[in-house]
Chain A
Amino acid sequence: MNPTLTIARRELKGYFASPVAFVFIVIFLLLAAFFTFMLGGLFERGEANLLPFFTWHPWLYLFLVPAVGMRMWSEERRLGTIELLLTMPVTPWQAIVGKFLASWVVVGIALALTFPVVMTVNYLGSPDNGVIFAGYLGSLLMAGAYLAVSAMTSAMTRNQVVSFIVAVVICFFLILVGYPPVTNLLTGWAPTWAVEGVAAFSVMTHFESIQKGVLDSRDILYFLSVIAFSLFTTSGIIRAHRAG
């Protein structure tokens, strides 16, 4: 079997052997429901779409996703199993991708378990399911980007708390640069191209256009490049750590 999949399977078992996966899924579902129905007012709006559901995801993921990803490499370093793993006939890249995929699956499972909300809007009205699908895809891609950032920060330290905090800060930054209150501050004095250039680095900008149902390849490419860049940096950090 492919070592990447072997590692991914082990990681996935690890997530479910510890309470991490269950705690994440339950809290994600509770908070998603709270935001969607209480703050988003899904019913009161009288519109058959999932905008109030997806709008909160960048914020919801901000704290929950780094919590899933923080143990990815720091735990390996703390236990010393990284030495075991990387002296196996496995390339570091296979290990990095395998671990990342497993954590992505955990978030994916949580996201999939929000299906009742889709059924609800379909029962109450006739939403555009294409837009909903795009929203899910965007949400999953965004979670992947956060996870890749968390993978990177967890490779930096053997301390999970440090890994968590640094990941949250980076993800927060990725949100803020495209968050309207922040970009509005810039528009006052900066040229438009500069504001748009900064906002182009934000998950907000790209996630919003996807959740509107516009599947632009640039948005998808953005998330994929954040993932690729972060994982690539992870491999650089691991290599530097081994070289001493």
Chain B
Amino acid sequence: MIQVQNLRKEFGPKVAVNGISFTVEKGEVLGFLGPNGAGKSTSMRMITGFIPPTEGSVKVGEFDMLENPIPAKRLIGYLPENAPSYADMSVRGFLAFTAELRGLSGDAGKKAVNRVLEMCFLENVQHQSVETLSKGYRHRTCFAQSIIHDPEVLILDEPTDGLDPNQKHEVRTLIKKMGETKAIIFSTHILEEVEAVCSRAIIIDRGTIVANGTPRDLKMRSDQAGAITVKLVDGNGEAIKAKLSHLNGVDRVSILSERPLTLRVWPRKGSGSDDVSRGIADMAFQERWPLQGLQVEEGRLDEVFRSITLPDTKSTKEETK
């Protein structure tokens, strides 16, 4: 549905986006991650046709954004960063205006406006002017605008920015639900959001894609992924560490905290976490350790994010948390 090919954008001498390529199909929710200034918004602006790329192409549906912008834009719903809207209009007036620009006027327009007012919980402020609304409402008004024509493609630049936790949850649920039938790209800083909503995530840093995969795949890249955390009520940390280190298939062990005694065990490459955790459980039973918990770590997205977007400061091997 969306094909981005070798997209590049230069602002003077500065390269904002340096040749990114990816595709998004219907039924996919693509999370766009990256530190501030990585080129997320610039990429989205090129995909939606707001700024022309220096090089490369964007295809939406069957239309090329550069050669055939109007039909391409028709397929897209877009929530720009900071959710702009006309401050002097009422919520309803603003939505009716965008509906009309999308070719929905008269009854069809009214129906579309009512639909999104309900979906975005804006019914009780529909007659208020946008400038009197709180940030959350304003944000949802602009979000409502992006889905007013029930687009096949949705591009959302930080859709949950500035919302309270309840509203965040609502918007996430909405995105996830719409993701079943649409092609969605959304950018965010919140990593838990990616795990909750995305079917795939791209991490972009300094204008290039540094990772592309399902949230699960990405988490597997974490240093912690597959490591086993062992919690004991008390005990001699060093002694236990030494014992665990000699267990079959264990690569290394580190003590995370003394009280309660928490250790992390990294299996050697090629030996499964399951076998090692079974070995730890057996040992704890034999040694009569007051075992409190035993957990195989899934890996953490924030750790992966940090390790690939901060190549200068190497991700610490001894994770202390």
Contact = CB atoms under 8 A, between A and B. Distances in A.
A7 B97 CA distance: 8
Interface in B116-163: 129, 142, 145
A66 B105 CA distance: 33
Given A87-B76, A89-B74, A89-B101, A79 B86 contact: yes
Contacts of B213: none
Given A79-B86, A87-B48, A244 B102 contact: no
A18 interface: yes
A1 B88 contact: no
Contact of A87 (B12, B78, B100, B103): B78
Contacts of B93: 13
A7 B12 CA distance: 33
A79 B11 CA distance: 22
A6 B78 contact: no
A13 B85 CA distance: 15
Contacts of A17: 88-89, 129
A90 B82 CA distance: 22
Contact of B84 (A1, A7, A10, A79): A79
Contacts of B89: 10, 13-14, 17
Contacts of B50: 83, 86-87, 242
A91 B82 contact: no
A87 B97 contact: no
Given A80-B80, A81-B84, A84-B145, A90 B52 contact: no
B145 A89 contact: no
A119 interface: no
Q: What range describes how many residues of A lie at the interface?
A: 20 to 34
Contacts of A84: 78, 80, 84-85, 98, 142, 145
A3 B104 CA distance: 11
A87 B73 contact: yes
A88 B101 contact: yes
Contact of B86 (A81, A86, A242): A81
Nearest to B10: A244
B70 interface: yes
B49 interface: yes
A79 B80 CA distance: 12
A243 interface: yes
Contacts of A87: 48-50, 73, 76, 78, 80
Interface in B251-295: none
A86 B48 CA distance: 9
Contacts of B88: 14, 17-18
Interface in B27-85: 45, 48-52, 69-71, 73-74, 76, 78, 80-82, 84-85
Contact of A91 (B70, B84, B86): B70
A10 B86 contact: yes
B45 A89 contact: no
Contacts of A14: 86, 88-89
B8 interface: no
A21 B212 CA distance: 52
A79 B93 CA distance: 17
B101 A6 contact: yes
Interface string A196-224: 00000000000000000000000000000
Nearest to A6: B100
A5 to B, nearest CB: 9
Contacts of A79: 84-87
Contact of B98 (A13, A83, A88, A91): A88
B91 to A, nearest CB: 14
A81 B78 CA distance: 12
B144 to A, nearest CB: 12
Interface in A1-53: 1, 3, 6-7, 10, 13-14, 17-18
16 contacts: A6-B97, A6-B100, A7-B101, A80-B82, A80-B84, A81-B84, A81-B85, A87-B73, A87-B80, A88-B98, A89-B103, A90-B73, A242-B50, A244-B9, A244-B11, A244-B51
Interface of A: 1, 3, 6-7, 10, 13-14, 17-18, 79-81, 83-84, 86-91, 242-244
For the complex of A and B, 4 pairs with smallest distance between CB atoms:
A80-B84, A244-B11, A87-B48, A89-B74
